[in-house]
Chains A and B, each alone.
Chain A
Amino acid sequence: DAKTTQPNSMESNEEEPVHLPCNHSTISGTDYIHWYRQLPSQGPEYVIHGLTSNVNNRMASLAIAEDRKSSTLILHRATLRDAAVYYCILRSRGGADGLTFGKGTHLIIQP
């Protein structure tokens, strides 16, 4: 699976939107972009995934650049419960079993 690059940490205020960036310049045409997050003392949980088009669900939105070399996870209105480590992961058809996690972005939410 191709590699992703994320900032180590980001800080935002409660009730404001948060944009979490991810660079994946070596992405291939069939790689899906997945986002997971890990709350303190919990296992990772699925957030969203997409291939080319922007995606929305009840948790977040995923904006994918036209060249697919980057993507942004958008939390529309952050709450304190969104404080977590967010992982951007590429999934390939012929890639590794399971998910390959990097260090992710530690999101801090200020009240």
Chain B
Amino acid sequence: GAGVSQSPRYKVAKRGQDVALRCDPISGHVSLFWYQQALGQGPEFLTYFQNEAQLDKSGLPSDRFFAERPEGSVSTLKIQRTQQEDSAVYLCASSREGSAGDWRTNEKLFFGSGTQLSVL
């Protein structure tokens, strides 16, 4: 497809279970971002990849959260030993460029529809 694809669309997990959320960015896009969105709030940054390199993981809330993008395309966000506070929508976004300078000020991000995670 032409857009950013995320799967699954919905995920229900029991507390303590591990989950893996997948993101297929737009083909050829260099940058990939993960966001977490709690109900009624704006999306919060989790982590950023430029190709396969994870350049910023400052937003990951704990060491239970792990993201990878091994071949510079598809990315997986893994949450270990899920807790109820992990319940949220997880959004993936990609953008065409990834170099320094003006890309950050001009670049558009394209978002997927998200994965809604519910931890019981």
| Alpha-carbon distance between A41 and B20 when the two chains are bound, in angstroms | 20
Given the known interface contacts A32-B105, A91-B104, the answer about A44 and B33 at a Cβ–Cβ threshold of 8 Å is no
- The tally of residues in B whose CB lies under 8 Å from a CB in A reads 26
Q: How far is the CB of B17 from chain A (nearest CB, A)?
A: 24
The stretch that binds A, out of B42-50, B61-69, B78-86, is B42-50
Given the known interface contacts A97-B56, A98-B48, the answer about A46 and B108 at a Cβ–Cβ threshold of 8 Å is yes
| Alpha-carbon distance between A101 and B48 when the two chains are bound, in angstroms | 15
Q: How far is the CB of A23 from chain B (nearest CB, A)?
A: 16
Q: Is the CB of B42 within 8 A of A43?
A: no
Q: What's the count of A-B pairs with C-beta under 8 Å? A: 67
Interface residues of B in 78-120 (CB under 8 A from A): 91-93, 101-102, 104-106, 108-114
- The tally of residues in A whose CB lies under 8 Å from a CB in B reads 26
Q: Is the CB of B112 within 8 A of A43?
A: yes
Identify the closest chain B residue to A104 (Cβ). Answer: B42
1/0 contact string of A56-96 vs chain B (CB within 8 Å): 00000000000000000000000000000101000111011
CB of A99 within 8 A of chain B? Answer: yes
Q: Is the CB of A102 within 8 A of B48?
A: no
CB of B2 within 8 A of chain A? Answer: no
Chain A residues whose CB sits within 8 angstroms of the CB of B42 once the complex forms: 85, 87, 101-104
Chain A residues whose CB sits within 8 angstroms of the CB of B43 once the complex forms: 44, 99, 101
Given the known interface contacts A95-B104, A98-B93, the answer about A43 and B114 at a Cβ–Cβ threshold of 8 Å is yes
**Highest count of chain B CB atoms <10 Å: which of A31, A45, A93, A98:** A98
Q: Is the CB of B111 within 8 A of A44?
A: yes
Chain B residues whose CB sits within 8 angstroms of the CB of A54 once the complex forms: none
Q: Which residues of A contact B (CB under 8 A)?
A: 30-32, 36, 41-46, 49, 85, 87, 91-93, 95-104
Q: Which residues of B contact A (CB under 8 A)?
A: 4, 33, 35, 41-45, 48, 55-56, 91-93, 101-102, 104-106, 108-114
